Structure formats: structure tokens, C-alpha cells
Amino acid sequence: MRLPLTITTTIASAMLLAGSAFADHHELLAGSAFADHHEGDMAPPMSPDHPSVVLGPPEGFEPAGEMPQMPEDPDEAKHMALEMFFHFMDVSGNGEVDWDEFTAWVRHFEMPQMSEHMGDHAMDGEPMAMELHEGDADLAHLPRAPECSDVLRESELGPQEEGHPCRDREGNLVFRTICNMPGFESAAITLPAGRAASCFGIEALSGSIAFEIVTEGGGPVWDMSMGPESYKGLKLDEGVYHIRSVGGGDPAGAITIRFVDVATDM
């Protein structure tokens, strides 16, 4: 299924606006959600009609200082807990949650079934995977991805370029190519202590392919339902991650992902 760029961009923009709204109105919005779901089943509410975001502490997060004594009054306790949650996200301490601070806490992003909103129909009632298609208007400028092989995989272990600009610093430009063919559906990103991956983009594309990024244990980090803006703003910290092909319907499908490996202690 092809997801029009305008709709993808609108969804991504809504996430950005949601981050701003969270900063300005966290007591009202989060307080309402907490009040509706603080008893019984604590599973996060998921709307069937709108995108839903689940927030949670990033891996390795530890709150600074001692936790305060919670009030006995339930309403006061909820207010304090939500305020603390907001301040944990606000790493810069400027009273606002920016894009990087917001996405660092995104644990899951749920989209409505696109077949209900786009008019496409999946086989056997299952939602069809969103894919990137070679030649689509916004992707037509990309060169074709190279054919996957052990030689290519080895060549991508080293940086393509050193001193490559990425926001406010420079780092190593890295490529990772995956294909819809056995043995090459996944490529690893290994980030030691003091390193991070940022400034993600698409370097090359062949055929049709969908992909996702997961942790070493398979936990979700990013998938195509989150939209191109969230992909461009993605930042991976220390750890091992995998870029994985999803679906694999087109045997000729291949994609080269690019990112910049930067130092975090500058």
C-alpha cells in the first residue's frame, strides 16, 4: 500500500504539535488521560480512529536526586506525578519539550489501520505494510541501491566519509544496505559508549521495500508508520540496533540507509 506523502507528513507534523502541546498543557491533557485510566487495567488507551503515542523512560534513565513524598490526596498525587514526568522529559530545563526530548521517550506509536482511511484493502483482513517504491515522486532522485552481497556488507563496516556534518557536530557517514533476499534482510548498527547515530536518511532505493529499526532484543524503535519527519529526527544512543526489512513482497527490493555516527561527549 502506498501512503501519500502529504498524509505521512501531516501525521508527523501532528506528532510535533503534540510535543508542543504536551509542553504547554501537560497538566490538562495528561491529567485527563491519567484520571480516566489510573484504576484497574493500566494498559495505555489506544484510539481506533487516531494515532496514539505511548511514552516511557528511555533505556538507562535514572531520576536525579531523591523522589519526593507523594501526597495522600489522589488528585494531588496525580498532579505531582505528571509534573515530575514532564520535567523528566524536559532535559534542557527550559520548560518546553522539544523534538529530541519528546522522541527519546516514545516507546510505541500506534496508527489506525490505513485500509480504513486510505481506501486500500488488505488480503484476508490483514493490514498491508507501507512500502517505499522506486520512482515515486519524492524518491525519484535516489540512485538504485547496490545488490546485496557479503562484499558489500563488509565494505559498509567502515565509514563512507569522516568529518561529515550532522547538526552541531561532525562524525562518520555510515551506510547500511538491506534487501528482500535471504541472509540480507537485516543490518546491524553498533554504538559503543560515547557514540550516537543521528541525521538519518535514505541513500539509495531499488524496487519496493519496507523497513523498521529495532533493538538487539527486537524491541521497537522506529517503523514506517511514524513518518519521514520522525525518521529524519531519529537519534540512537549507545547499544546494538537492527535495520530490518518488513514484508519482503518484492524480491528486487533493496534500500541503503545512511546516518552519521557522532561523539556524544563533545
Q: In the chain, what are the domain boundaries? A: 5-110, 129-263
Task: Give me the pLDDT at residue 34, please.
Answer: 37
Quick one: cell of 3? 501512503
Task: Give me the pLDDT at residue 111, please.
Answer: 54
Task: Give me the pLDDT at residue 266, please.
Answer: 57
Tens digits of residue pLDDT in 63-75: 777 777 888 888 8
Task: Give me the pLDDT at residue 109, please.
Answer: 64
Q: In sequence order, what E strands does the chain have?
A: 52-55, 106-110, 132-133, 161-166, 169-179, 186-191, 195-206, 208-215, 220-223, 239-246, 254-263
SS3 225: helix
Task: Give me the pLDDT at residue 13, please.
Answer: 33
* Count of alpha carbons within 13 angstroms of residue 108, beta-carbon side: 10
Task: Give me the pLDDT at residue 101, please.
Answer: 82
Ranges of residues in the chain whose predicted pLDDT is under 50: 1-44, 46-48, 113-129
